[in-house]
A and B are shown apart, each in its own frame.
Chain A
Amino acid sequence: MATIAALATSRLQKAIGVERAAEMIPDGAVLMIGGFMGVGSPHRLIAELVRAGRKDLTVICNDTSRPDNGIGLLIGARAIRKVIASHIGTNPETQKQMIAGDIEVELVPQGTLAEQVRAGGYGLGGVLTPTGIGTPVEVGKQTIVVDGKTFLVEKPLRADFALIAAKRADYRGNLEYEMTARNFNPLMAMAAATVIAEPIEIVPTGVIAPDHVVTPHVLVDYIIERNRTHGR
């Protein structure tokens, strides 16, 4: 019995401090960061990357939010060398750095970006989509005709690290999301070599029913410990 308990405990050692999580992420890493205008972004992880002075990051994300929020803070800290996103219209600082040549921006239609991340996680060679045919989006990309309809071949995206945010993590790392904070997080959780999840709540294993688990624990490498102040 003691041996079984010891094994169970060792498998549960996924919780780490936010500082240790940031230490794992080197300059120049390719990151997927969840969130939509900062909603559902791992804010504590982002703040720690800024504090640690990370540089030359490639970030795959829906958007760079606003200058004072979410991924916008990494932009403001000049931590990002390249961003692959669906839009940057809400962050004038991203636009400024792009125009100055300090940051490379690759814009992807949002549905295509979601599918590229999904393909990266699902082991697909790419996805066929009609979005962007006949527009600048198709430049430089392969097209394919299936049953008389033309599609763009969009390649899978993968990252070194996926930094995701969740509403709840159980002790094993099963994740549940809340409302519009879900967005890209479950997709990114499949498409990176190392997945670090920042939950709002950590609950005992079994609290999240199987039907409510959106990201299975086997995909999650680390859970960020919750704030340690505990009412002090």
Chain B
Amino acid sequence: MDDKVIIASRVALELAAGELVNLGIGLPTMVANYLPPGVEVFFQSENGLIGVQPVPAAGLEDEFLTDAGGTPVGALPGACAFDSAFSFGLIRGGHLAATVSAAWRSTRRAISPTGWCRARWCRAWAGRWTSSPAPGR
């Protein structure tokens, strides 16, 4: 099995139904594909959307709806669009259950080149500083 598939499917097991989860770009977006059946998790993309899903079929891509890497995505019914201050207010204000971020090194687990953490601070060499989710997780 491909390393990325292993990581993505392992991370998916950590997520619980109804949670708001922030996804970084690249491997983290694969996580959505490996959620256990019946587990509805809401993915936030930091560039301003809750309700990210993969593009449902080829040809439906739109240049104004992408993930944080600029790759086209879809949006589930009930999705919400907002600006960058709001987006990071969700993150910094403790409204997330988890964040899945590409990291070269993290404070709790050293997985190279990508990894995940629920630690207080997850440092990403791509330039993202991601604050951890709700207290107690």
Take A87-B127, A137-B129, A182-B82 as given contacts and tell me if A110 and B88 are in contact as well, using a CB distance cutoff of 8 Å. Answer: yes
A residues 60-78 near B (Cβ < 8 Å) are 62-63, 65-66, 69
In the assembled complex, the Cα of A186 lies from the Cα of B127 at a distance in Å of: 23
Interface flag for B126 (CB, 8 Å): yes
Chain A residues with CB under 8 Å of B83's CB are 114, 177, 182-187, 214
Interface flag for A161 (CB, 8 Å): no
Contact of A115 among B75, B85, B126 (CB under 8 A): B85
Take A39-B64, A65-B70 as given contacts and tell me if A135 and B123 are in contact as well, using a CB distance cutoff of 8 Å. Answer: yes
CB distance from B73 to the nearest CB of A (A): 8
Take A36-B48, A86-B128, A135-B123 as given contacts and tell me if A115 and B66 are in contact as well, using a CB distance cutoff of 8 Å. Answer: no
Chain A residues with CB under 8 Å of B81's CB are 177-180, 182
Take A37-B68, A110-B46 as given contacts and tell me if A88 and B127 are in contact as well, using a CB distance cutoff of 8 Å. Answer: yes
The answer on a CB contact under 8 Å between B84 and A180 is no
Chain A residues with CB under 8 Å of B67's CB are 180
The answer on a CB contact under 8 Å between A183 and B70 is no
Chain A residues with CB under 8 Å of B64's CB are 39-40, 167, 178-181
Contact of B49 among A117, A132, A179 (CB under 8 A): A179
Contacts across chains A and B counted by CB atoms under 8 Å: 114
The answer on a CB contact under 8 Å between B62 and A131 is no
A122 — nearest CB in chain B belongs to which residue? B85
In the assembled complex, the Cα of A117 lies from the Cα of B85 at a distance in Å of: 9
Take A37-B47, A135-B129, A137-B129 as given contacts and tell me if A184 and B62 are in contact as well, using a CB distance cutoff of 8 Å. Answer: no
Contact of B126 among A39, A87, A111, A113 (CB under 8 A): A87
Interface flag for B92 (CB, 8 Å): yes
Contact of A37 among B62, B70, B85, B87 (CB under 8 A): B70
Interface flag for B35 (CB, 8 Å): no
The answer on a CB contact under 8 Å between B131 and A130 is yes
Chain A residues with CB under 8 Å of B106's CB are none
Take A111-B92, A184-B83 as given contacts and tell me if A179 and B46 are in contact as well, using a CB distance cutoff of 8 Å. Answer: no
In the assembled complex, the Cα of A39 lies from the Cα of B81 at a distance in Å of: 14
Chain A residues with CB under 8 Å of B62's CB are 179
Chain B residues with CB under 8 Å of A130's CB are 92, 131
Contact of A87 among B66, B84, B128 (CB under 8 A): B128
Interface flag for B20 (CB, 8 Å): no
A residues in contact (CB < 8 Å) with B: 36-40, 62-63, 65-66, 69, 86-90, 107, 109-111, 113-115, 117-118, 129-132, 134-135, 137, 167, 177-187, 214
Of the A-B pairs whose beta carbons lie under 8 Å apart in the complex, a sample of 8, sorted by A's number, is: A107-B127, A110-B46, A115-B85, A180-B65, A180-B67, A181-B64, A183-B83, A186-B83
Interchain residue pairs A-B with the least CB separation, the first 10: A87-B127, A111-B88, A37-B70, A109-B129, A114-B84, A181-B64, A36-B47, A179-B65, A114-B85, A178-B64
